[in-house]
Structure 1
Amino acid sequence: MPDIKLIGLDLDGTLLTTTKELTENTKKVLIQALDAGIEVLVATGRPFSGIPKELQKLPGIHYALTSNGARVLDIRTEKVIIEQLLPLESAIKALRIFEKYDTLCEIYFHGQGYAEEKKLSQISRYHHNPHMWDYFRTTRKFVPDLWELIRQEGQAMDKVQALFADMDERQSAWNELTQIKELKPVGSLSYNIEVNAAGVNKGTALIALGKMLGIPRESIMACGDGDNDLCLIKEAGLGVAMANAEPAVKAAADYITTSNDEEGVAKAIEKFALKK
């Protein structure tokens, strides 16, 4: 097996525990990989502003793959080195579908997520995981009207997202979105839908970054658990699924590690990258 030179790590359900923590042992293993000269980066559906500060500031982490591959940044300069945005017209089509249902909608510009102020008090209705409530409150900017913000910005977005109160409505919205060829809907949570431009995903973005760094596909490892990690697992030379991963992700993986609450990422890095 080739030496691993680049590792892309999903956050929620993968690197972070159910309570959204980075364990001390996992942090230690990340540092060991970085000290060994391996490029380690988060590969997340979150915007840049949603990446925990302790990961942004971890010495040796140079890059961040955000919004499912729509933006890849050099953390040291916050310069965008890969950008694959959702055209404004396409974003509006997705939002019009979301508006038909009982949803909390979010839009993402320049690595920042925005939501409407009136939905903040209703977070428990839409974020079914209580461990996501504080993350949402502390990383989003709240505005009176998303459509007014869209008019002010007047440009392409990183992605759009909706959180659904009702799962039957989520399925109906999913069916509508998949009929629009220019959109790529994915779900990182059982109750959300994220929409990127067609062809945009974590996997192609990670491979593109590897090419820029002179790292071949076979030397790239990725870990994930959700629907938005499927392309990540398929594209990487070594795709690792968490024990808590979706069945399709497990089926596509080269290896299944333990769960995110059992430090599965740390174990996989030790096994394949550090070769302990």
Structure 2
Amino acid sequence: MSEIRLVALDLDGTVFNDEKQISPRTLKAIRAALDKGVDVLPATGRTVDGVPRQFLEIPGVRYALTSNGASVVDLQTGERLVSLTFDPAMAEKAFDVVQPFGGLLSVFIHGVSYTAVSPTGDGLEVVPANLREYFRTTRNMVPDMHRMMEEHPTEIEKFSILYATEAQRDAAWQAVAAACPTLEIASSIERNMEINAPGVSKGPGLMALARHLGLAPAQVMAVGDSGNDRTMVQLAGLGVAMGNATEDIRRVADAITADNNHDGVAEAIEKYVL
């Protein structure tokens, strides 16, 4: 097996335990990989502004793959190494399809999450309890989302919607798939739907970064647990599913590690990188 030189780690359900903390063992393993000269990066559906400081402040973390692969940023220089945004007309069509289904809709624009002001409250009742603080601190409220999109037509990275029920989410999913069949639709947490431009997901974004760094797929390891991790687990030379991963991720993985509450990321790094 080729020596691993790049490690992409999903955050929620992977690096972070259920209390949204990085365990001491996992932090030690990440630091050891970085000290060895291996690039370790967050690979997340979050915006770059939403990546927790406790990961970004680990010395040596240079890159961040965000918005499900729509953006890869060099954290040292601020340069966007990968930018895979929506065609403006396609973004508008997707917005028009999802809007009637309600839910808590966020649009990721140039690394920032925007949510329309609602007359009925902040909408956080649909957000899992362990993510509410993240939503409170990273969302930017705007009075008119459609206007916001019109003002930034070429910078739209992702739609992220949380629904009150699985049935509501599934109905919206089916509507988007029917009206916009080329869009990438995934889920990362319960009752959530994430929409990216055609062909945009974590896997292609990660492979674009690998090419930028002069690395072959065999030199890349990716670790994840849910639907929006599938393509990076598939495309990496070594794809690792967490012990708590959904069945579709376990099927495409090359290896399965422990779950996110039992240092699965640390176990994978220790076994395959160190």
Q: Which TM-score band (shorter chain)? A: over 0.9
Take 1:156 and 1:73, find their aligned partners in 2: how far apart are those partners? 14
Q: What pairs up with 1:211-230 in 2 under 5 angstroms?
A: 211-230=211-230
Q: Tell me the alpha carbon deviations over residues 72-114 of structure 1, each in whole angstroms, 9 at most, x when there is no partner.
A: 0000111101111012221222222221113111111110001
Residue by residue over 1:50-84, the C-alpha shift from the partner in whole angstroms, topping out at 9 and shown as x without a partner, is 10112222211111000011000000111101111
Deviations 1:98-147 (A, max 9, x none): 211131111111100011232653301x21x1001000001111122212
- Aligned residue for 1:178, secondary structure, equals helix
Amino acid of the structure 2 residue aligned with 1:183: L
How far apart, CA to CA, are the structure 1 residues paired with 2:237 and 2:121?
A: 41
Name the count of aligned residue pairs. 272
> What does residue range 243-262 of structure 1 map to in structure 2 within 5 Å?
243-262=243-262
- Is the 2:149–2:156 Cα contact (8 Å) retained in structure 1? no
Kindly report which structure 2 residues correspond to 1:20-35, keeping only aligned pairs within 5 A, or say none.
20-35=20-35
- 2:91 counterpart of 1:105: no
Change (3 A) 1:167 1:253: same
Question: Per the alignment, do residues 120 and 266 of structure 1 end up closer, same or farther by CA in structure 2, a change over 3 Å counting?
Answer: farther
Answer yes or no: is 1:161 the counterpart of 2:160.
yes
**Correspondence list, 1:30-179, <5 A:** 30-118=30-118, 121-124=122-125, 126-127=126-127, 129-179=128-178
* Worse-matched range after superposition: 65-74 or 139-148: 139-148
Structure 2 gap ranges (5+): none
Cα deviations by residue, 1:204-259 (Å, 9 ceiling, x for unpaired)? 11111111111111111000011000101100000000011110000110111011
SS, match of residue 260 in structure 1:
coil
Is 1:19 matched with 2:19? yes
Contact 2:110 2:155 (8 Å CA) reproduced: no
For 2:173, the aligned partner's letter is: W
For residues 243 and 161 of structure 1, the distance between their equivalents in structure 2, rounded to whole angstroms, comes to 25
1:120 to 1:188, Cα distance in 2 relative to 1, 3 A: farther
SS in structure 2 of the partner of residue 121 of structure 1: coil
SS at match of 1:94: helix
Q: Distance in 2 between matches of 1:201 and 1:120?
A: 32
State the TM-score, normalizing by the size of structure 2.
0.96
Greater CA drift, 239-248 or 97-106: 97-106
Cα distance in 1 for partners of 2:135, 2:182 equals 28
Say whether the 8 Å CA contact 2:221–2:236 is kept in structure 1.
yes
How far 1:48 moved relative to its partner? 0.1
Can you list the C-alpha shifts for 1:152-206, whole angstroms capped at 9, x where unaligned? 3333401111111122121111112222133111111121111101111111111
CA RMSD of aligned residues (A): 1.3
The gaps in structure 1 that reach 5 residues or longer are none
Are 2:196 and 1:199 aligned?
A: no
Change (3 A) 1:174 1:272: same
Q: Residue 210 of structure 1 aligns with which residue?
A: 210
Identity of aligned residues (%): 38
CA contact (8 A) 1:9 1:222 kept: yes
> How far, CA to CA, are the matches of 1:150 and 1:217 in structure 2?
35
The answer as to whether partners of 1:74 and 1:80 remain within 8 angstroms in 2 is yes
1:147 and 1:198 mapped to 2: Cα distance? 21
Distance 1:157 1:231 in 2: 21
State how far apart, in whole Å, the 1-side matches of 2:97 and 2:12 are.
Answer: 26
Structure 2 CA distance for aligned equivalents of residues 243 and 219 of structure 1: 23
